[in-house]
Amino acid sequence: MKAMNKRTSLLSALLASAAFMGGLTVQAQADELRLYNWSNYFAPELLERFEKETGTKVTIDSFASEEDLLAKLQAGGGGYDIIFPGTTTLGIMVDKGMLAKIDVNQMENFKNLLPAFKSIAGDEKREYSAPYMWGTTGFTYDPEMVPGGKMAESWEPIFKPADELKGKIAMLNEMSDVWNAAAYYLGIDKCTEDAGEAQQILDLLLAQKPDVKLYSNDGTIDRMVAGEVPVHMQWNGAAHRVKAKKPNVVYVYPKEGTTFWTDVIAVPKDAPNLEKAKEFVNWMMSPEVAAAASNYTGYSNAVIGSGEFLKDDLKSDPAVNMPEEYGERLRPYKACSPKSKDLREKVWTKLKS
């Protein structure tokens, strides 16, 4: 919680009446909306635009991983009105009663959604969430920095890199993405409940670990642009933004499997400004607003009619508009059992220890 400035502190001291202060709190909530999102994943122009259109001040904080997001909300921290979880975390939050039922399916702009996005695993009726961005998890490489100027369309050069790349591979610091990639490469069901198969995944990741320069979700774009690493496990929107500054980089959809994911917009159960949060969710499903979000993040959205507002480079980049022949490589979100999730968490803990 940000510290109050001197003027606010003095006002609070002078206006000590409980009744008056109760009214003041309501007014403050009505004039502010607090967002909690991944870093560098929301267009500043949209914050300004919403403020201008509604008179509501919007502030945004960032988290580094979905584990951080979940932990903070479970601990009751933040006081946020809008959050941006992925599909996996969305299901957990719905099951645990952590989200407000905002009936997205009844909102005016719900009609703008592509049919495939009107339902989602964990929120089949779209009562708790609206789609934000969707994309894939593969890897990006700089042809000028890898042996032969080309890497195979496989997870092989990531998990078993050439000698010239050992100690230079950058991985995401995201449990699900790393686990899934290893499972695809080994031909193991990513929702396996078999301890032996989980051990195979751990063995692969531990063998790779000395070849990994770092695990990080932050700075993936700047790191590639600066040439700090030649190859980075990356989300496709980040790859697109790297390509804007280094046109020769290549985004790979590994043939063994490429995770297809969706991030959503949701409202915590204890959101201070529930009605304004609902207004914001509906606003985000309008074509021009969704396009502005895509133009900034480099990811696709789920809103019909947004295409006419997209930048040309977004339309032409295969990292964003995937070539049709790669469609069979996509692996959608899959709800795994508690036993499977427990194995995954144990592997991740051992890998990062």
> Is residue 89 located within the same domain as residue 232?
no
Average pLDDT over residues 150-165: 97
Higher-scoring residue by pLDDT: 8, 297: 297
Which pLDDT does position 321 carry in this prediction?
Answer: 81
Per-residue pLDDT, averaged over 341-350, amounts to 97
Looking at per-residue pLDDT, the higher value among 3 and 186 belongs to: 186
Q: For residue 1, is it within any domain? A: no
Distance of CA 207 to CAs 159, 160, 210, 350, Å? 8, 9, 7, 13
Residues 205 and 340 reside in one and the same domain: yes
In this structure, the answer to whether residues 148 and 62 fall within a common structural domain is: no
Question: Which of the residue ranges 12-16, 192-196, 252-256 would you say has the lowest mean pLDDT?
Answer: 12-16
Copy the structure tokens of residue 306.
Answer: 């947004």
- Whose tokens are 């009663």? That residue is 97
77 domain-assigned: yes
Q: How many domains does the chain contain in total?
A: 2
Task: In the chain, count H helices and then E strands.
Answer: 14, 10
In a domain, 11, yes or no: no
Asked whether residue 6 is assigned to any structural domain, the reply reads no
Q: Provide the pairing of β-strand 231-235 with 169-171.
A: parallel
Q: Is residue 226 part of a domain?
A: yes
Q: Which domain holds residue 215?
A: 135-260+323-352
Looking at the fold, whether 255 and 283 belong to one and the same domain comes out as no
Q: Are residues 102 and 177 in the same domain?
A: no
Distance CA 104, CA 115 (A): 14
> What are the tens digits of pLDDT across the range 215-238?
999 999 999 999 999 999 999 999
**Containing H/E element for 282?**
helix 274-284
Tell me what pLDDT residue 24 has. Answer: 37
User: Mean pLDDT over residues 51-57, rounded?
Assistant: 96
State whether 23 and 99 are in the same domain: yes
State residue 137's pLDDT score.
Answer: 95
Same domain, 216 and 336: yes
189, 240: one domain? yes
Q: Are residues 245 and 146 in the same domain?
A: yes
Whether 2 is covered by a domain: the verdict is no
Determine contact, residues 171/177, Cβ cutoff 8 Å. no
Residue appearing with tokens 């997209």: 310
* pLDDT tens readout for residues 288-312: 999 999 999 999 999 999 988 999 9
Answer yes or no: is 268 within a domain: yes
**Of 2-6, 106-110, 146-150, the least confident:** 2-6
Same domain, 27 and 105: yes
% of the chain residues with pLDDT over 90:
76
Does 305 share its domain with 344? no
Model confidence band, residue 267 (pLDDT cutoffs 50, 70, 90): very high
CATH (domain of 276): 3.40.190.10
Q: Where does the pLDDT of residue 44 fall: very low under 50, low under 70, confident under 90, or very high at 90 and above? A: very high
Q: Are residues 203 and 327 in the same domain?
A: yes
The per-residue pLDDT for 4 is: 31
The model carries a pTM of 0.73
Residue 296 lies in a domain: yes
Give the residue-averaged pLDDT of 285-290: 97
Top mean-pLDDT range of 3-7, 119-123, 178-182? 178-182
